[in-house]
Chain A
Amino acid sequence: MLNISIVNIVCTIINLLILYFVFKKFLFGRVDEILAKRQEEVDSATATADKAIAEAMAQKSMYEEKISLADEEKETILADIKKQGYDEYDRIVTDARKKGDQIVKEARHKAMAEAERAKEEYAGQMRDMVIDAASKIAATDRDKADDYKLYDKFINEAKAVKNE
């Protein structure tokens, strides 16, 4: 049991080295290749995914900018329209007021003209009546009492005509 022979030790060392080289070349070499390829694929997949995410973020920020600009435009358009509306309203109101004033003035003129006409007509009727009375008086011979009676009657009729 205790024989130590150098030959066997050397043989065992050679055995170990042969096994090491076979393992390194065949087992670890091939398995490492596959693992490296897999790792590479995973890395490239993560790289493209990262790039896609970065692109998506950039586009998103671009769209957000556009949306905010659109908001501002909307505000200005609304303000414009409102101002136009108010202007229109003011214009219509002043127009209406002017027209109203004009109508009132015309109506007043018309009323005054009517009054004038009525007065003239009334004066005409009065003239006719006076001529009638005068002719009646001239046509009859009367005394003063009949004259006063005629005058009163004439004044009462004139009052009645006036009161009509």
Chain B
Amino acid sequence: MSLTAIGAGLAAFTGIGAGIGISIATGKATDAVARQPEADGKIMRLLLLGCALAEATAIYGFVVAIMIILFA
């Protein structure tokens, strides 16, 4: 059990934050669409944007994990 493996595993934990954040955002987006169905184009665009930005933190964790595996 080398420490690199543990390090990489810990780095992959950043996915939790992204998952929770995006799920809450999607829930609120469906609430907004249910409240006003004709604005669903704008809401979908905003949701997509928010998800792409929130996923960045998860990706940072992924990149760090790969770097740990490959460089140490």
Contact = CB atoms under 8 A, between A and B. Distances in A.
Interface string B44-72: 00000000000000000000000100110
Contacts of B71: 2
Interface in A4-27: none
A77 interface: no
Interface of A is mostly: loop
Nearest to A1: B70
A72 B21 CA distance: 83
A27 to B, nearest CB: 25
B50 to A, nearest CB: 28
A2 B70 CA distance: 11
Contacts of A1: 67, 70
Contacts of B70: 1
B70 to A, nearest CB: 7
B64 to A, nearest CB: 12
A163 to B, nearest CB: 124
A2 B64 CA distance: 12
A2 B67 CA distance: 9
A2 to B, nearest CB: 7
Nearest to B63: A1
Nearest to B71: A2
A117 to B, nearest CB: 120
Interface of A: 1-2
4 contacts: A1-B67, A1-B70, A2-B67, A2-B71
By Cβ-Cβ distance, the 4 closest A-B pairs, closest first, are A1-B70, A2-B67, A2-B71, A1-B67
